[in-house]
């Protein structure tokens, strides 16, 4: 069980500090969970990968809920600073010395049992209770302290006809493409704040009498995180069992594991471990730059640009691609081992001209959801003139089924960006006004927007009207928005530099 240092939570400033710690804590589990899951890619261990993936999705949800809560009480989430990233191997943020060292490592059942299950162990496991020692609190107790003080502070504020929920509602982040409204919603008052905390705790710990998540706090019936990890260790699904003392047992469908294809990644890799200019170094730096860019997008999303959550999700897929490239490379200093992701802070200032050249050659990817990759491919290649980058095609079933991927290079665009079509939806997304929230829409920079727009219209594409944008510095841009068969937004853009504004 992870124990945190007991923190004073009395004032609204204390609450903000505690919720910032919650943001950091929720994020800190993502790199080790992600890495373990990356090493399961194309190894035949899909059931295990899906279980870890479901937990990862909820950790990302918890981070977003915590960010919304911090904004709601007038705080400012800080996500894009180097100290935000934990040092691996090491303890989790706010943790006390419990002997648990969290590594960046390949998947193994020992890793699940000895690290991940310790992180997620509930305060009250079914039939087992553990009390925290003096000066230490469990993660569940940490969240309960936040809840209690929110209630007390709001009660006192109401007496003065005020509220502690003073944050700008425009900073609240939602993303219905990934998280349904009942799980990710604007936090604007005490009721929604308490509801958000309950979702975090229930998904992570379950209840004191049931290892399964409360149906109100999940989309599908499933155990809490600790018990899902235990399923992996036991190799069996957790099911109701009236013969068992707790009413549950690991006696359901098997969860097979075959470790023969898992890459032998060296634990806790660091970018500077690799010789400069080696493929491992280059891809490690590009991985870390993409990861840092993801944190920057999250930071912007929680600080006045909520649409940047789309950029973060797109960069998440780019991070995955670089991780898989690293796992396919030999560690140049350690024969018999592969390279791996290191999750280090690499900013724009850290990128040399040679790094940027590599970035152009390797490509950042804007990920787009696809319900039918073959149908989408025809739209992008035949109508828009994109080319397929066969290096990154993932099509294990031969039919571009679930989780398949196709990468496309965009014509007429800076060559360091590509489109990644990912089969992760069953039907096109709801149609929306693309000019209202374009987010991270792939942009075609063109010389004559009128002629390109008309050419697309002649091919049957519905393109919006041309919009003129004038900046304070005298720049003029023209935009026109259109959508692909899955209603992903794309943009035509014509730049007119330092035009005279008359």
What pLDDT, on a 0 to 100 scale, did the predictor assign at position 318? 76
Please, are residues 147 and 194 in contact by the beta-carbon 8 Å criterion? yes
Q: How confident is the model at residue 415 (pLDDT cuts 50, 70, 90)?
A: very low
The structure tokens listed for 375 are 């149908």
What is residue 383's DSSP assignment? I
Q: Is the pLDDT of residue 414 over 70?
A: no
The structure tokens listed for 164 are 């502690």
Residue 249 pairs in a beta bridge with 239
Q: Is the pLDDT of residue 351 over 70?
A: yes
Q: How confident is the model at residue 348 (pLDDT cuts 50, 70, 90)?
A: confident
What pLDDT, on a 0 to 100 scale, did the predictor assign at position 400? 86
C-alpha span between 290 and 285 (Å, rounded) = 9
Residue 108 has φ and ψ, to the nearest 5°, of -160, 155
Mean pLDDT of 261-282: 94
What pLDDT, on a 0 to 100 scale, did the predictor assign at position 110? 97
What pLDDT, on a 0 to 100 scale, did the predictor assign at position 104? 98
Q: How confident is the model at residue 497 (pLDDT cuts 50, 70, 90)?
A: low
For 134-155, how does the pLDDT look when each residue is reduced to its tens digit (9 = 90+)? 567 778 889 999 999 999 999 9
For residues 388 and 260, the model is more confident at 260
Alpha helix ranges (H) inside 302-381: 309-327, 353-362, 373-378
Residue 224: closest CA among 241, 242, 248, 243: 248
Alpha helix ranges (H) inside 364-403: 373-378
Sheet holding 489-496, edge to edge: 443-445, 489-496, 476-483, 467-470
What pLDDT, on a 0 to 100 scale, did the predictor assign at position 193? 97
What pLDDT, on a 0 to 100 scale, did the predictor assign at position 360? 55
Q: How confident is the model at residue 359 (pLDDT cuts 50, 70, 90)?
A: low
Q: How confident is the model at residue 133 (pLDDT cuts 50, 70, 90)?
A: very low
For 153-198, how does the pLDDT look when each residue is reduced to its tens digit (9 = 90+)? 999 999 999 999 999 999 999 988 788 899 999 999 999 999 999 9
How much helix, strand and coil, in percent to the nearest 5, is found in the chain? 40, 15, 45
Q: Is the pLDDT of residue 132 over 50?
A: no
Q: Is the pLDDT of residue 72 over 60?
A: yes
Q: Is the pLDDT of residue 345 over 60?
A: yes
Q: What percent of the chain has pLDDT over 90?
A: 51
What pLDDT, on a 0 to 100 scale, did the predictor assign at position 131? 37
Average pLDDT of the chain? Answer: 86
Residue 449: closest CA among 427, 465, 426, 436: 465
The structure tokens listed for 2 are 């992870």
Alpha helix ranges (H) inside 328-415: 353-362, 373-378
Q: Is the pLDDT of residue 85 over 50?
A: yes
What pLDDT, on a 0 to 100 scale, did the predictor assign at position 130? 37
Q: Is the pLDDT of residue 401 over 80?
A: yes
Mean pLDDT of 462-471: 84
| Model pTM score | 0.74
What pLDDT, on a 0 to 100 scale, did the predictor assign at position 25? 93
Q: Is the pLDDT of residue 327 over 50?
A: yes
C-alpha span between 416 and 355 (Å, rounded) = 12
Residue 420: closest CA among 324, 342, 355, 351: 324
Mean pLDDT: which of 101-105, 344-348, 401-405 is highest? 101-105
Residue 325: closest CA among 410, 407, 232: 407
Residue 223 pairs in a beta bridge with 212
What pLDDT, on a 0 to 100 scale, did the predictor assign at position 79? 95
What pLDDT, on a 0 to 100 scale, did the predictor assign at position 500? 40
């Amino acid at each position: 069980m992870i124990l945190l240092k007991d923190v004073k939570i009395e004032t609204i400033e204390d609450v903000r500090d505690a919720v910032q710690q919650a943001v950091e804590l929720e994020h800190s589990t993502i790199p080790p969970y992600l890495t373990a899951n990356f090493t399961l890619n194309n190894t035949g261990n899909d059931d295990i990968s899906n279980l870890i993936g479901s937990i990862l999705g909820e950790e990302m949800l918890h981070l977003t809920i915590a960010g919304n809560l911090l904004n709601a009480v007038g705080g400012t989430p800080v996500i894009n600073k180097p100290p935000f990233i934990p040092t691996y191997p090491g303890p989790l943020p706010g943790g006390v010395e419990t002997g648990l060292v969290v590594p960046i490592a390949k998947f193994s059942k020992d890793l699940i049992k000895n690290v991940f299950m310790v992180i997620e162990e509930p305060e009250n496991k079914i039939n087992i209770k553990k009390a925290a020692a003096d000066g230490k609190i469990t993660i569940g107790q940490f969240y309960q302290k936040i809840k209690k003080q929110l209630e007390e502070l709001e009660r006192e504020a109401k007496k003065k006809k005020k509220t502690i929920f003073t944050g700008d509602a425009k900073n609240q982040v939602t993303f219905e493409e990934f998280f349904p409204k009942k799980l990710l919603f604007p936090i604007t008052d005490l009721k929604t704040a308490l509801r958000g905390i309950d979702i975090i705790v229930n998904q992570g710990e379950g209840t004191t009498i049931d290892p399964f998540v409360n149906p109100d706090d999940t989309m599908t019936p499933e155990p809490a995180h600790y018990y899902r990890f235990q399923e992996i260790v036991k190799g069996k699904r957790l099911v109701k069992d009236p013969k068992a003392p707790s009413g549950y047992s690991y006696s359901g469908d098997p969860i097979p594991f075959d470790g023969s294809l898992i890459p032998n990644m060296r634990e806790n890799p660091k970018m500077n471990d690799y010789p400069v200019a080696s493929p491992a170094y280059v891809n490690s730096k590009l991985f870390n730059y993409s990861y840092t860019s993801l944190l920057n997008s999250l930071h912007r999303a929680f600080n006045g640009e909520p649409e940047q959550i789309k950029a973060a999700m797109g960069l998440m897929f780019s991070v995955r691609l670089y991780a898989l490239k690293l796992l396919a490379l030999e560690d140049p200093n350690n024969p018999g081992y592969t390279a791996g992701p290191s999750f280090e802070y690499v900013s724009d200032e850290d990128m040399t001209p040679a790094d940027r050249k590599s970035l152009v050659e390797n490509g950042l990817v804007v990920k787009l959801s696809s319900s039918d990759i073959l149908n989408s491919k025809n739209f992008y290649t035949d109508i828009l003139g994109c080319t397929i980058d066969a290096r990154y095609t993932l099509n294990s079933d031969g039919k571009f089924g679930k989780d398949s991927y196709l990468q496309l290079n965009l014509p007429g665009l800076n060559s360091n960006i590509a489109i990644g079509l990912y089969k992760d939806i069953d039907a096109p997304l709801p149609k929306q006004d693309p000019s209202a929230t374009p987010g991270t829409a792939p942009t075609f920079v063109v010389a004559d927007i009128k002629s390109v727009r008309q050419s697309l219209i002649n091919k049957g594409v519905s393109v919006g009207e041309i919009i003129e944008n004038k900046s304070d510095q005298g720049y003029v841009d023209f935009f026109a928005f259109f959508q692909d068969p899955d209603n992903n937004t794309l943009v035509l853009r014509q730049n007119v530099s330092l035009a005279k504004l008359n």
